[in-house]
Amino acid sequence: MNIDDLVSRHRGMLEDSPLNQVAEWKAKHPGSKIVGCYPVYTPVELIHAAGILPVGILGGGNRLEIAHADSRFQSFVCSIVKSTLELGLTGSLDSLDGIVFHSICDPARNLASVFKRNFPRLQVDYIHFPQNMTSPHTENYLAAEYQKLRSSYEQLAGRHVTDDDLRNSICLYNEQRKLIRDLYRTRRETPQNLSTLETYVLTRIGTLIPPEEHIQVLRESTAALRHRDEKPKDRIKVVLEGSFCEQPPLELIESLEAAGCYILDDDFLLGWRWFEQDIPLDGEPIHNLARAYLHQSVYSGVKHDTRQPKAKHLIDKVRETGASAVVILAAKFCEPALFDYALYRRALEKEGIPHLYLEFEEKMWLFDKARTEVETFVESMLFD
Ligand code: SF4
């Protein structure tokens, strides 16, 4: 299959109702269990090692009408919190046996409690990620959090999870993440041959299907990409930042590119590509997962790490990719993204790197305004 066919097949699945995929998978695998993972990062290996399928619960997209959840939250809460509750209230999460939230922000924290109260059938787990990355106790603390999760999934699956089970799952997800990194590298080096939308579709489909299947999709895509050899267009090269949790609509990603940008790097679906190197397999797997979070994970607006300023990471990313500008694409009412923007803006101005700030909502339908803003920004750079 060529890359166009691969992407359009999977784009169709995402545009339909992504969670239908998950329900269909469950119907074909009677007795199986599924756990939903709210963004940003979940140690999916702990779920997979128990024989449970971890899937991404990444909001409702722009085809879901919010009819019930709006009245249960304040108006100044981001869309993904409301759409996730709406999915639950309208039965779209019925195929899940559990769901896991994390300490990323107050709305996500509250959503975990709302889920516990409203959906007693679901096993709701919660991870308190460390706020202090430098304490000598942090690794043991996080390993204990992960051990709690492992016991929880052992109970849900009704089976014991051995260290070897966990190592096998780490090995599998290492392979998946490596192939995603390869895809990102191809896009960064030859953006004319792989668009951001294509990269996104091929990555996001992996949040809905077993990792073994996703690895096959990624291998097929890598092979198909070898036959693509497009001429570069006259576009500016940018890094996109700010969409680490709520995801923008596919059409918005498409519009940004069509407006004249090659996006060399982004932070979409960040939790599914959380590690820059493989997680080691030797030693105690729970501690390896905890150490990887502390020392090998990417920066993000929801990871509290004072060892290096986030703005420095962004500037480094711009320099390393060879981008000439930054597009900040932040979800409306996302406090972590807005707090980061204040830091990013100061650092970008100091370094003389142009940037454009845009806000989005996952339920948005009209993209002309965003496209015009990007076109104006691109023109100001191309003809300056
Ligand atoms: S989009 Fe931002 S505010 Fe909303 S749940 Fe995610 S991190 Fe929290």
Res. 56: pLDDT tops 80? yes
Beta bridge partners of 262: 237
**Ligand 1: centre distance to CA 107 (Å):** 7
Task: Say whether pLDDT at 89 is over 80.
Answer: yes
Beta bridge pairs of residue 183? none
- Residue pLDDT, tens place only, 92-117: 999 999 999 999 999 999 999 999 99
Residue located nearest, by CA, to atom 5 of ligand 1: 108
Say whether pLDDT at 245 is over 80. Answer: yes
Confidence band, pLDDT 50/70/90 cuts, at residue 337: very high
Which tokens is 381 given?
Answer: 């750079």
**CATH code 3.40.50.11900 region(s) in the chain:** 228-382
Helix (H, G, I), strand (E, B) or coil at 279: coil
- Asked if 83 and 19 touch (Cβ cutoff 8 Å), the reply is no
Q: Which CATH number fits domain 25-161: 3.90.550.10, 3.30.56.10, 3.40.50.11890, 3.10.20.310?
A: 3.40.50.11890
pLDDT at 165: 98
Whether the bond between 77 and the residue before it is cis, its omega within 30 degrees of 0, is no
**Cα(348)–Cα(315) distance, integer angstroms:** 7
* pLDDT digit string, tens, across residues 126-160: 999 999 999 999 999 999 999 999 999 999 999 99
Q: Is the CB of 104 under 6 A from ligand 1?
A: yes
Name the strand (E) or helix (H) holding 281: none
pLDDT per position as a tens digit, 251-291: 999 999 999 999 999 999 999 999 999 999 999 999 999 99
User: Which residues, 6 or more positions from 279, have their beta carbon under 8 angstroms from its beta carbon?
Assistant: 170, 173, 174, 288, 289, 292, 296
Q: What is the DSSP string of 316-355?
A: HHHHHHT-SEEEEEEETT-HHHHHHHHHHHHHHHHHT--E
Output the average pLDDT for the chain: 95
The predicted pLDDT at position 58 comes to 95
Cβ burial of 51 (10 Å; 0-12, 13-18, 19+) is middle
What pLDDT is attached to residue 157? 97
Pairing, β 34-37 against β 98-102: parallel
pLDDT of amino acid 83 = 95
- 16 pLDDT band, cuts 50/70/90, is confident
Percentage of the chain beyond pLDDT 90 is 89
Looking at ligand 1, which atom is closest to the CA of residue 246? 1
CATH architecture of 228-382: 3-Layer(aba) Sandwich (3.40)
Check residue 186 and give its pLDDT: 96
Amino acid identity for residue 244 in this structure: F
Helix and strand numbers, DSSP H then E, in the chain: 14, 8
Q: 84 with 122: CB under 8 angstroms?
A: no
Question: Mind listing the pLDDT tens digit for each residue in 157-197?
Answer: 999 999 999 999 999 999 999 999 999 999 999 999 999 99
Sign of CA dihedral 105, 106, 112, 118: negative
Q: How far apart are the first and last CA of the chain?
A: 43
Q: Is the pLDDT of residue 370 over 80?
A: yes
* Type of residue found at 328: I
Confidence of residue 25 (pLDDT cuts 50, 70, 90): very high
Per the DSSP assignment, residues forming a β-bridge with 331 are: 360
- CA distances, 142 to each of 63, 148, 282 (Å): 37, 10, 18
H/E stretch holding 38 reads none
> Does the beta carbon of 77 lie inside 6 Å of ligand 1?
no
Question: Does ligand 1 have an atom closer than 6 angstroms to the CB of 180?
Answer: no
Where do the H-state alpha helices sit in 231-334?
Answer: 250-258, 285-295, 310-321
- Structure tokens belonging to residue 69: 């959840």
pLDDT at residue 64 is higher than 90: no
Q: What pLDDT was estimated at residue 17?
A: 79
How many angstroms separate the CA atoms of 262 and 237, rounded?
5
Percentage, residues of the chain above pLDDT 70: 100
Mean pLDDT to the nearest integer, 300-327:
94
**Is the C-beta atom of 336 inside 6 A of ligand 1?**
yes
Sign of CA dihedral 155, 156, 157, 162: negative
The pLDDT value recorded for residue 365 is 86
Q: Comparing C-alpha atoms, which of 295, 311, 302, 313 is closest to residue 270? A: 302
User: What's the rounded mean pLDDT across residues 14-20?
Assistant: 84
Ligand 1 neighbourhood includes 7 CB (under 6 angstroms): no
pLDDT for 279: 98
- Give the list of residues 6+ apart from residue 14 with CB closer than 8 angstroms, or none: 61, 201, 204, 205, 250
Q: Where in the chain is the domain with CATH 3.40.50.11890?
A: 25-161
Measured in angstroms, how far is the CA atom of residue 329 from the centroid of ligand 1? 13
- Work out the angle at residue 110's Cα, subtended by the Cα atoms of residues 365 and 244, and round it to the nearest 5 degrees: 50
**How sure is the predictor about 206, in pLDDT bands with cuts at 50, 70 and 90?**
very high
Q: Is 254 in the pocket of ligand 1 (CB under 6 A)?
A: no
Residue 192 CA to ligand 1 center (angstroms) comes to: 32
Ligand 1 pocket mutation pick from 246, 303, 360 by most atoms within 8 angstroms of CB: 246
